[in-house]
């Protein structure tokens, strides 16, 4: 009897479709250097705005009628810093990646343009400039996703991404046109001055439309379906930029429009954000915990973390409108800090996954393993990223998630039924997300990097070149700062909080020092002391083990018991599929796996079984139940429309005359 488990397909090595036209080394250095340089400019400009005066720039001739308007404040500066820092690490990494994977010239040439588009979005000071920058970012990212368009999976991901991103852009466009028309101006400063004249219906319309448009870019449920496709199939430097920087622009849009311009907003705005955030976080981490494709796992982890950030933003709105600005400041601080820490550890995770893919040509965790000895530096880097994504102490995401829980736990519930119901449920959602996130990252790190290799490609893996390791090291250093010394971020976050009406002028955020203290709340934390205690415990353990080894009698050497076999083999260890199988059983009604059991009998007798083949395929249930019927309906309408095109000129003239008649009747 044989059993075959199948969850994710084997993919060719990254860049395989583009190997026919290797780029020159000079182009790789130029593209990577320009990407890193743009990132450095973004960091410098963002910090100068956060700790200095706002900056403005007008270029009247660049866009017809309205020109280009750039206005930078501390909020935009924070996103400039985050995007720029990610771009520095990715730019350095891309030099070695392009040379090792022989990346095609066109995507390598437009990589800096993608970074420039992302930097322009938070710098835009008018609706027109914002929309042009947004579309530039989206269009260039689509070209980068299609870098390896010769593969069917890449083309499918590109089509899906193009449709979703344009639908999101249409929603944003409609929302900002309504906002601009109601406020009587195109500039954000003009809108801010007249926002009190807007009706509640206008504000509600803009909020719902922007939530759909920006939520789609952030990968929130149910508009997340493009994310696991595009991030998985894109080249790894592009995946890092998209998952660690581009999705932040969706969060930026929600904060800029819904919290700053229209905010703080009524209770139901915050409650809506909390529900969408909680569902996105739980669904994303659940999909990540059962995924066997390494990059798909990381992509769903992005949905999880964007959900946590959105939940915290919703909590800030709900708490502020309920008369608790101090706790609202903690929730908003948690959201901003988690956005920054997620950018750090997700950059590192995707860059490490790219190194694995470049070395082995594999994304399937079931076929990896044994990389700790063959790629030790990459293994350590991915371990740091996995610790940050798990939300455990000394991980990059721990402090922000701790702040998030503190804001939910210490919310006042004096006669407020909404808070009394929403906050405990949110605590449960965050706790469930953290637990499943630990399981997902233990699976990714333990199965993918430890134990024995489960394929010839994993057996022959080699460490990444120096520039790729340098890029990962920079991201790892940022993770260490968030994990051990978040006090360095305290002044930056305080400047950003001051410009947000949700809490600005009403309450101060947490005091980030040696001890992280919460104003008005009985809670404190010291990441530095936690790190010191861990180091001391490790040193004591090593010292005691050595002392014990010296005073212990010599033990006789005996072969390790291997279930009767001569030696241990890769078939005696957990795969990613078997590791996730208990979770799959628990959440079977949510995941809805497609299971197929095929029994093959001997030709001589139907009672004797030759082999049993078991296949389990896990698809996205939201995509299957929501998007598949819509796609079928669109295809049906397209087929009907195609049938109306017979090639007859007389029929086409009749169509035109009928349309003109309808327009005239409607106009009259």
Lowest pLDDT segment from 297-306, 444-453, 599-608: 599-608
Cβ partners under 8 Å of residue 458, min gap 6: 360, 362, 367, 368, 369, 370, 371, 374
Q: How confident is the model at residue 347 (pLDDT cuts 50, 70, 90)?
A: very high
Q: What is the DSSP annotation of 256-279?
A: IIIIIIS-S--HHHHHHHHHHHHH
Quote the CA–CA distance of 526 and 516 in Å, as a whole number. Answer: 6
Q: Report CA 599 to chain centroid distance, whole Å.
A: 41
Q: Nearest Cα to 478, choosing from 392, 382, 352, 385?
A: 385
The pLDDT, as a whole number, for residue 523 is: 65
| pLDDT per residue as tens digits for the range 109-129 | 899 999 999 999 999 988 989
The pLDDT, as a whole number, for residue 377 is: 93
| pLDDT per residue as tens digits for the range 364-395 | 888 888 888 889 999 999 999 999 999 888 88
Q: Which residues pair with 599 in a beta bridge?
A: 612
Per-residue pLDDT, averaged over 187-213, amounts to: 88
The pLDDT, as a whole number, for residue 336 is: 93
Higher pLDDT, 117 or 509: 117
Quote the CA–CA distance of 212 and 164 in Å, as a whole number. Answer: 11
Q: Are 191 and 160 in contact (CB under 8 A)?
A: no
| pLDDT per residue as tens digits for the range 82-93 | 999 999 999 999
Other beta carbons within 10 Å of 295:
26
Secondary structure class of 604 (helix, strand, coil): coil
Quote the CA–CA distance of 210 and 310 in Å, as a whole number. Answer: 13
Q: How confident is the model at residue 666 (pLDDT cuts 50, 70, 90)?
A: confident
Residue 570 has pLDDT above 50, yes or no: yes
The pLDDT, as a whole number, for residue 15 is: 42
The pLDDT, as a whole number, for residue 342 is: 94
Other beta carbons within 10 Å of 377:
16
Containing H/E element for 466? helix 466-484
The pLDDT, as a whole number, for residue 556 is: 61
């Amino acid at each position: 009897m044989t059993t075959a488990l199948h969850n994710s397909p084997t993919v060719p090595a990254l860049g395989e479709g583009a190997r026919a036209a290797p780029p020159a080394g000079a182009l790789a250095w130029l593209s990577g250097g320009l990407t890193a340089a743009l990132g450095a400019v973004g960091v410098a400009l963002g910090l100068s705005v956060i700790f200095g005066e706002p900056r403005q720039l007008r270029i009247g001739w660049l866009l017809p009628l309205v020109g280009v308007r750039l206005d930078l404040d501390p909020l935009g500066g924070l996103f400039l810093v985050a995007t720029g820092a990610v771009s520095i690490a990715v730019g350095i990494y891309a030099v070695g990646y392009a040379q090792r994977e022989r990346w095609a010239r066109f995507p390598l040439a437009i990589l800096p343009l993608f970074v420039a588009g992302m930097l322009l979005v938070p710098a835009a000071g008018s609706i027109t400039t914002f929309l042009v920058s947004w579309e530039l970012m989206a269009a260039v990212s689509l070209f980068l996703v299609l870098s390896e368009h010769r593969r069917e999976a890449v083309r499918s991901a590109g089509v899906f991404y193009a449709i979703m991103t344009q639908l999101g852009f249409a929603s944003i466009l409609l929302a900002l046109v309504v906002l601009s028309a109601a406020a009587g101006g195109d500039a954000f400063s003009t809108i801010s001055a007249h926002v009190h004249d807007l009706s509640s219906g206008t504000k509600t319309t803009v909020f719902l439309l922007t939530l759909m448009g920006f939520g789609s870019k952030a990968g929130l449920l149910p508009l997340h379906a493009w994310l696991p496709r595009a991030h998985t199939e894109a080249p790894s430097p592009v995946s890092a930029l998209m998952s660690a920087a581009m999705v932040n622009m969706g969060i930026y849009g929600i904060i800029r429009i819904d919290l700053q311009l229209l905010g703080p907003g009524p209770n139901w705005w915050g409650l809506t954000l909390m529900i969408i955030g909680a569902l996105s976080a739980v669904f994303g981490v659940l999909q990540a915990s059962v995924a066997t494709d390494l990059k798909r796992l990381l992509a769903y982890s992005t949905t999880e973390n964007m959900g946590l950030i959105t939940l915290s933003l919703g909590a800030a709105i709900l708490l502020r409108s309920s008369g608790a600005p101090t706790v609202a400041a903690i929730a908003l601080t948690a959201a901003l800090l988690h956005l920054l820490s997620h950018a750090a550890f997700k950059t590192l995770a995707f860059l490490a996954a790219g190194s694995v893919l470049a070395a082995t040509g594999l994304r399937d965790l079931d076929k990896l393993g044994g990389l700790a000895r063959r790629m030790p530096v990459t293994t350590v880097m991915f371990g740091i990223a996995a610790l940050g994504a798990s939300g455990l102490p000394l991980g990059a995401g721990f402090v922000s998630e701790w702040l998030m829980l503190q804001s939910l736990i210490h919310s006042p519930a004096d006669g407020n039924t909404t808070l009394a119901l929403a906050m405990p449920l949110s605590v449960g959602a965050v706790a469930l997300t953290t637990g499943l996130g630990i399981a997902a990252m233990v699976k990714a790190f333990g199965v993918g990097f430890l134990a024995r290799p489960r394929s010839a490609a994993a057996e022959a893996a080699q460490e990444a070149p120096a520039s790729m390791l340098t890029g990962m090291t920079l991201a790892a250093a940022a993770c260490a700062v968030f994990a051990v010394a978040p006090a360095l971020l305290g002044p930056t976050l305080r400047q950003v909080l001051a410009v947000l009406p949700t809490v600005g002028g009403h309450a101060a955020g947490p005091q980030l020092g040696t001890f992280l203290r919460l104003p008005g709340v009985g809670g404190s934390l010291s990441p530095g002391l936690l790190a010191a205690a861990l180091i001391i415990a490790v040193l004591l353990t090593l010292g005691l083990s050595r002392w014990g080894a010296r005073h212990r009698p010599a033990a006789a050497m005996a072969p390790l018991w291997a279930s009767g076999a001569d030696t241990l083999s890769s078939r005696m260890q957990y795969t990613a599929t078997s590791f996730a199988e208990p979770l799959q059983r628990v959440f079977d009604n949510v995941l809805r796996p497609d299971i197929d059991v095929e029994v093959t009998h001997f030709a001589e007798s139907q009672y004797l079984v030759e082999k049993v083949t078991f296949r389990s395929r896990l698809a996205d249930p939201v995509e299957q139940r929501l998007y598949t019927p819509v796609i079928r309906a669109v295809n049906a309408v397209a087929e009907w429309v195609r049938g109306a095109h017979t090639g007859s000129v007389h029929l086409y003239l009749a169509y035109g005359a009928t349309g003109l008649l309808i327009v005239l009747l409607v106009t009259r």
